[in-house]
Amino acid sequence: MSEHLDLETIRDRLIAFLTNAGCNAVGVCNQEGLEGGPPSTDLTRQLEGARSAIVVSYPLDDHKLELYMGKIDHEPYQKEYIQVNNIVQGLMGETTNQLHKFGYAAEVVYAGNTPADGTPLDVMPSNERQREAALLNPAGEAYVMMGILPVISQRMLAAAAGVGFFGMSGNILTESHGAAIVLGACVTAADLLPTPALDRDANYCDECDWCGQACPTSFMSRTDFTTVKMGEHDHHKYSARLHPMRCAAHMQGMTGLSEDGRFSSWGPGRKQLSQNDDELFPSLIEIATDTARRPDVPGGFYDAQKGIRTNIMCSACNLVCHPERKVRAKRLKMWTQGGVTIQHEDGRVEAMPRDEARAYLDAMPIERRALYEDV
Ligand code: SF4
Ligand code: SF4
């Protein structure tokens, strides 16, 4: 330990470090303030004896995200998203390093901290707190089956720590940059004093539903909502999330065209997933097989565990959401009127008006066209 400091000084110094490093919001939550949230808010699931968590938001570049939302260029935003994720992981790694030097155990919470991403930690309720939490916040069957429940939910921690608030999309919205941010967190045995959840008046979500309109698939329910109470704070409700593969198919570019055929995410596929969840997997297997036979889209995350690259092809629900309503309206227009996506033989994706995209597809040899649409 470099010097003996009280916990308040340690907390304030770490917040200053993270704010100076470019985070647009930094907060702290503790076990008490997370009480009542889902099992993924029990910090001890990741670190035995954990008492608190430091949570950050780091903003994405507005210009690059508007090139992406306007369907002008895919690559700069994809690179930006990967770089900001790496910056956030680096900042949280350094924060844990600092906590160790102050004499406290600490660990980074990785964004993909789910069994499907290879974490060995158990995400099923394993103590009384988690069992009660699971009853209050039941997990969706598909999320359990697919192993995509997080060990620790960064979103929940961010809401409790006052880094941001839930919008109807279920994303965390920050006061300065909306949902165009990357979250990061670390858990620690240091009993750091929490920062308060943001006041209801700070939440700019006016339930405009432009996140829902930007979504090319049926993922956000219009009729069912999720509400979470953590500590003494009732958080803003958000749309219940439907089958996660509907979102994943767009995020990974397996499919792209919206259900109404008017616009697309950056995925070049046009085949639609079945509307019936029971028939979802057969349609998904077909489009996943097509995707594996298409040329690789340049760039993307390289997953060292799986040895594969994954592209970023959607995120419209969070990128559309800006504190200023006129910016939100502009981004929705850009996304939904920016054309539909085709893929070139070298793998590049490009958006163009619907009639040009139709002509591009019609000119393809039939076996190539069949990788994108029903022929
Ligand atoms: S787009 Fe509108 S409804 Fe959706 S989270 Fe943002 S402000 Fe709320
Ligand atoms: S990432 Fe895309 S597909 Fe997934 S919920 Fe958001 S808008 Fe919909």
**Amino acid residing at 14:** L
Q: Are both 44 and 117 inside the same structural domain?
A: yes
351 close to ligand 2 (CB < 6 Angstrom) = no
Q: Is residue 34 part of a domain?
A: yes
Question: Which of 36, 26, 40 shows the shortest CA–CA distance to 185?
Answer: 26
- In this predicted structure, the answer to whether residue 1 has a pLDDT above a threshold of 70 is no
Domain around 325: 245-369
Contacts of 291 (CB under 8 A, 6+ apart): 252, 253, 254, 269, 371
Q: Which two tokens stand for residue 75?
A: 């690559």
**Nearest alpha carbon, ligand 2 atom 8:** 215
Phi and psi at residue 141, to the nearest 5°: -60, -45
314 close to ligand 2 (CB < 6 Angstrom) = yes
Q: Are both 69 and 136 inside the same structural domain?
A: yes
Per-residue pLDDT band for 96 (boundaries 50, 70, 90) equals: very high
Instruction: Show which of 176, 192, 208 is a domain's final residue.
Output: 192
Q: Are both 184 and 249 inside the same structural domain?
A: no
User: Is the sign of the CA dihedral 66, 70, 72, 75 positive or negative?
Assistant: positive
Q: Are both 130 and 279 inside the same structural domain?
A: no
| Residues 264-275, mean pLDDT to the nearest whole number | 94
How many Å apart are CA 234 and CA 280, to the nearest integer?
A: 34
Q: Is residue 257 part of a domain?
A: yes
SS3 95: helix
- In this predicted structure, the answer to whether residue 209 has a pLDDT above a threshold of 90 is yes
Q: What is the pLDDT of residues 317-372, one digit of tens each?
A: 999 999 999 999 999 999 999 999 999 999 999 999 999 999 999 999 999 999 99
> What mean pLDDT value characterizes the chain?
95
Which numbered atom of ligand 1 lies nearest the CA of 204?
Answer: 7
Beta strand 52-59 pairing with 25-30: antiparallel
Contacts of 252 (CB under 8 A, 6+ apart): 267, 291, 310, 311, 313
Q: Are both 162 and 265 inside the same structural domain?
A: no
Instruction: Show which of 192, 207, 222 is a domain's final residue.
Output: 192
Q: Is residue 374 part of a domain?
A: no
State the ligand closest to the CA atom of 170.
1
Contacts of 325 (CB under 8 A, 6+ apart): 206, 208
Q: What is the pLDDT of residues 33-73, one digit of tens each?
A: 999 999 999 999 999 999 999 999 999 999 999 999 999 99
Phi and psi at residue 253, to the nearest 5°: 75, 15
Other CB atoms within 10 A of residue 306 CB? 10
Q: Are both 171 and 270 inside the same structural domain?
A: no
Q: Are both 25 and 169 inside the same structural domain?
A: yes
| Residues 162-168, mean pLDDT to the nearest whole number | 97
How many Å apart are CA 54 and CA 11, to the nearest integer?
A: 9
Number of folded domains in the chain?
2
Which numbered atom of ligand 1 lies nearest the CA of 238?
Answer: 5
Q: Are both 188 and 280 inside the same structural domain?
A: no
How many Å apart are CA 315 and CA 137, to the nearest integer?
A: 25
| Residues 217-226, mean pLDDT to the nearest whole number | 93
Q: Are both 263 and 158 inside the same structural domain?
A: no
Q: What is the pLDDT of residues 359-370, one digit of tens each?
A: 999 999 999 999
Query: Given this model, what pLDDT does residue 117 score?
Result: 86
SS3 183: strand
Contacts of 109 (CB under 8 A, 6+ apart): 46, 53, 92, 151, 152, 154, 157, 184, 185, 186, 187
- In this predicted structure, the answer to whether residue 247 has a pLDDT above a threshold of 80 is yes
Q: Is residue 224 part of a domain?
A: no
How many Å apart are CA 86 and CA 301, to the nearest integer?
A: 11
Please report which helix (H) or strand (E) contains residue 182, including its range: strand 181-188
Q: Is residue 357 part of a domain?
A: yes
**Nearest alpha carbon, ligand 2 atom 1:** 315
Query: Given this model, what pLDDT does residue 3 score?
Result: 64
Query: Given this model, what pLDDT does residue 118 score?
Result: 86
Q: Is residue 222 part of a domain?
A: no
Q: Is residue 318 part of a domain?
A: yes
**Nearest alpha carbon, ligand 1 atom 8:** 205
- Alpha carbons within 13 angstroms on the beta-carbon side of residue 108 total 18
Q: Are both 134 and 265 inside the same structural domain?
A: no
Q: Are both 162 and 101 inside the same structural domain?
A: yes
Beta carbons of 320 and 334 less than 8 angstroms apart: no
Q: Mapped to the 3 state alphabet, what secondary structure does 15-43 carry?
A: HHHHHHCCCCEEEEEEHHHHCCCCHHHCH
Q: CA 262, 268, 271 angle in degrees (round to 5)?
A: 70
Q: Which two tokens stand for residue 116?
A: 């499907």
Query: Given this model, what pLDDT does residue 341 score?
Result: 97
Query: Given this model, what pLDDT does residue 112 score?
Result: 86
**Nearest alpha carbon, ligand 1 atom 7:** 205
Q: Are both 40 and 187 inside the same structural domain?
A: yes
Query: Given this model, what pLDDT does residue 2 score?
Result: 55
Pocket of ligand 1 (CB under 6 A): 167-169, 205-211, 320-321, 328
| Residues 97-103, mean pLDDT to the nearest whole number | 98
